[in-house]
Amino acid sequence: MKSLKLYVSSETAGARIDKWLSDNIDDLSRSSIQKLLKDKNILINSQAVSKNYKLQTNDVIDINIPEPKELDVTPQNIPVDIVYEDDDLLVVNKPKGMVVHPAAGNPDGTLVNALLYHCKGRLSSINGVIRPGIVHRIDKYTSGLLIVAKTDKAHTNLAKQIKEHSFKREYVGIVCGRMSDENGTVNAPIGRHKLNRKKMCVTDKNSKNAVTHYEVLETFDKYSLLKFRLETGRTHQIRVHMSYIGHPILGDDVYGKSFKGIEGQCLHAKKIGFVHPATEVYMEFDCELPEYFENILKKVR
């Protein structure tokens, strides 16, 4: 078990504990800190506190980080399109329809099951037993590139780049309708939908800032082909933002409506760029549009 002891100064007093810790400890996300608080693995002055506890001057914070549990996910020999691989990380081109990690309703057949087989279990443990190596995710029906960490050191470094907005992520998608501007930015906070907890929405309540930049690549009669650049990486961010401005992603039956001949949204993670955590060299990867996407483009043209 890894242990940390921190002391609260007068400058820090008044800060919310989960936010302050996530801002100051690189390898712990806010959600993982909240779980440590819930499990009483973070104590203030030897007492358990809630995630919204406000720090006070001279508070003593004791943090105990349990060792990762043994993974209970079965490696499966599922073909994976590996775009790049070395001792620290992989870049994977995920097909449309594949779930990234096991969850309710998808216990196996996921990218994680495939990666465990391919990497012989050598993946980072920071995101726990269900999401080993997963630094960032893309939705089941979104195809394209994502990065996977083999070591905790690489994972921490890459997560920091994402947090600091230096990690490049570009998507291409078809949206409903014709855009009034050639480019633009949607800056609107995203949080859980109050009635449907599986959905996200633009809201000021219990939300996080979210920024999506877009550029029109091609315009059709009833649709538009757009390039998206993520400044932040919230759950369903592009899908929520485009629905919010009245141009949902084509085929998105959660935030828009379905489209004949396609299951789920027509969205592809086309490009990623990052500084390699070991070599410190900038790397960028770009992948072609998949066949399903090209077929939809032919239809809308």
Residues serving a catalytic function are 139
Token duo for residue 231: 């400044």
Q: Please give the Cα distance from 256 to 248 (Å, whole number).
A: 5
237: buried, middle or exposed (CB in 10 Å: 19+, 13-18, 0-12)?
buried
116 backbone dihedrals φ, ψ, rounded to 5°: -60, -35
Strands 267-275, 282-286: parallel, antiparallel or unpaired by DSSP? antiparallel
How many CA atoms lie less than 13 Å away from 192 in the CB half-sphere? 6
Query: What Cα–Cα distance (Å) separates residue 190 from each residue in 141, 143, 210, 261?
Result: 20, 22, 6, 30
- For residues 268 and 171, is the Cβ–Cβ distance under 8 A? yes
Determine what percent of the chain falls in helix, strand and coil, rounding each to the nearest 5.
Answer: 20, 30, 50
Beta pairing, strands 267-275 & 143-149: parallel
Coil/strand/helix, residue 275: strand
Q: Are 282 and 299 in contact (CB under 8 A)?
A: no
